[in-house]
Amino acid sequence: MLRERDWTVHRIGEIFPSDGQDIPDEEWIAHGLEQGWVPLSKDGRIKTRDQEIEPVRERSAVLFYLDNQQLRSTEMVERLHHSREAIHRAVARGGPAAYAVRADRIDRTWP
């Protein structure tokens, strides 16, 4: 649905087999960052795990996560699309940083 709204999206399942279930988070994050992509996760705890956040720190990158893992797909899309300009501004500022994508805004939550 984000692609329908002119977002460029690279799903983990398009890169790694089994939708990336056997790939450690730090590996898919590093792979995406090496491609110049901005990682998006549904798991906000990722920012608290040193090994998983290390690729973001090493590359002074930016990571986004949805602050509610229980959202329906349409709600996830609406949240992200509503915050599109704020997300672009955060990426332009650089990192390292992690941002929660909330219903009405994004908030920097790490470091």
What is the CB-side half-sphere exposure of residue 83 using CA atoms within 13 A?
A: 23
Look up residue 72 and give its two tokens: 């329906």
Look up residue 37 and give its two tokens: 């992509």
Q: Convert the pLDDT of each residue in 48-80 to its tens digit.
A: 999 999 999 999 999 999 999 899 999 999 999
Give the pLDDT mean for 80-101: 97
Continuous H helices in the chain: 12-15, 25-34, 50-58, 73-82, 84-93
In our burial notation (b when 16+ CB lie closer than 10 A, e otherwise), range 9-23 reads eeebeeeeeeebeeb
Return the domain boundaries, the chain: 3-110
Q: How confident is the model at residue 89 (pLDDT cuts 50, 70, 90)?
A: very high
Global pTM? 0.91
**Tell me, what amino acid is at 20?**
G
